[in-house]
Amino acid sequence: MVILYCISSIIFIWMNLFFLSNISKLKNKPYFQDWKEIPKVQIFYYLSKVLYWFWLIIGLFLPISFFIYLILAINGLKIISYFLNRKIYTIFNIVVPISTTLIISSMLISLFF
């Protein structure tokens, strides 16, 4: 179970890095395009984004749940900033994947050391 959790953590690190490198492509909603035209890497990104939230729920029950609470708090701030100010939201849209990647990386390091 821990190995599966670690593999999914690596996938989610990739997901955040993929988002940061392809922000302009991912701003287009998938339902505006034909599904046959979307690259398979992008479809894998969308699937990993859905699985990411299940991963967070499972992580709440692990001994390293502090990291999960931190990720949820940062995402909560991002959601609140959407309703307060759009400019702050666009900043959070870049900061959250970077901070989430750092948190997941430190969580993986704490699991092994």
The Cα–Cα gap between 47 and 92 comes to 22
pLDDT digits (tens, 9 = 90+) for 12-46: 999 999 999 988 877 766 565 677 777 888 889 98
Say if CB 6 and CB 111 are below 8 A apart: yes
Contact 43, 69 (CB under 8 A): no
- CA dist 91 and 96 (Å) reads 9
SS3 113: coil
Query: How does pLDDT run across 65-104, given as a tens digit for each residue?
Result: 899 999 999 999 999 999 999 899 999 999 999 999 999 9
- Residue 38: strand, helix, or coil: coil
